[in-house]
Structure 1
Amino acid sequence: MSDGVPILIVDDEPPIRRLLRTSLGPNGFHVIEAENGEIALKLAVHEKPDVMLLDLGLPDMDGGEVIRRLRASGSKLPIIVLSSRGDEKGKVEALDLGADDYVTKPFGMAELIARIRAALRHRVQDDGGTPVFQTGDVSVDLTRRKVTRAGEPVKLSPKEYDILRMLVVHAGKVLTHRMLMQEVWGAAGDVQYLRIYIRQLRQKLEQDPERPEIILTETGVGYRLAD
């Protein structure tokens, strides 16, 4: 068996696959490659990678279809989408289908590796992580529904807590506006309501709400809790 964390790269451009292979290999990853969606779906089952890097523009099917089929099969494989700059709609659709994160081309390798490791940590959390989340001086105890900042209790409204809980459960993962609205309000609605509550949460949790370091904005897409 090959050493390293198995990672499946799905991209029809050989130069991109070569770049990722030569960059990720020395950083502790065993690279598996697929040039289209059908091959990717087969390798996801037979090779059992720990994470997938997925280009949306595949020759045989849209990358979103790969995500849809994997999630329909019950797979929890972390999926990081490689998207072209400006493809905001594609990013949102991929995340709504079940992708964990996205990186915009051209990307820096240090950022990509950080996103991969965050996705792997999130998978561990899904498999039974601690119910207490800590970031900076903010602590969230999901079992006791208790939030503190610098050791002092923070009083949240039910909606504020529901939003924060979603972000904590998926810490490090981008949650789209639609996903948060659907979970907290039960239906997609006016995103402005969500923005108001995010602003209120930042007022209570961030040292500088105008320069947030905990609840991060993914412009045009949604929000991410700093992992």
Structure 2
Amino acid sequence: MFDGKTVLVTGATSGIGFATAQRLLVEGARVVAVGRNAQRLDELVRLGGDAVMPLAFDLTAFARYQETLAAVPALDGLVHSAGIVENNPLRFFSLETHQRIVAINQTAPLALVAELARGNKLNTGSSVVLLSSILGAHVGIKGTASYAGTKAALAAFARVMALELAHKGIRVNCVAPGMVQTELVDQLHQLSDEALQADRARYPLGKRYATAQEVAAAIRFLLSADAAFMTGQTIVVDGGFTAQ
């Protein structure tokens, strides 16, 4: 349980971030919810009431980090779930697209943890969880070099941050899912239902994608005292996909 604990969740209004925020609220946490979907933020407020602190903040507005985060209470946990997925194949490589992906997926989590650490916003014994992916660190997909690179970088970030923050008892870990059945997948209109079903069949455990709640469960574990001696690690949640 997370009674009395405060956790900041980025990307809290969609997919894995929303599922994580929901679970933490049910278990008694106070959640600082960073997200852009006002309707989903309202849902979290209805669920958690005063336990939800909505924070409308553009994570790529790096010049505003110090000012914005000064209003955030001391944290017992941080979950960085915000991110974007865009194809950027070599033949049509766009530097603008690449920089946009890097800004939110890679620079934002590094800048966020750095600012929270400098501002003494991470309590002793707190836990940071970065949402990585099997894409980049374990597998490759054509056209995704920009995205895959940012996700692979998070595992490296976690190892280095874990060493830099260990003296304060702060842990830093990653969760690396395979495909997850979220709104993003539901909106993949460029793929036929048959193509999606064939891809799901490649996942040994159940021939399906993970649910957001299953990934949130792994995040919850890393935030909890049950993972008190784990830091600098990555937990893969992919139904056996990378075991093949």
* TM, length-normalised to structure 1: 0.43
Q: Which one has the bigger strand percentage?
A: 1
Q: Which has the larger radius of gyration?
A: 1
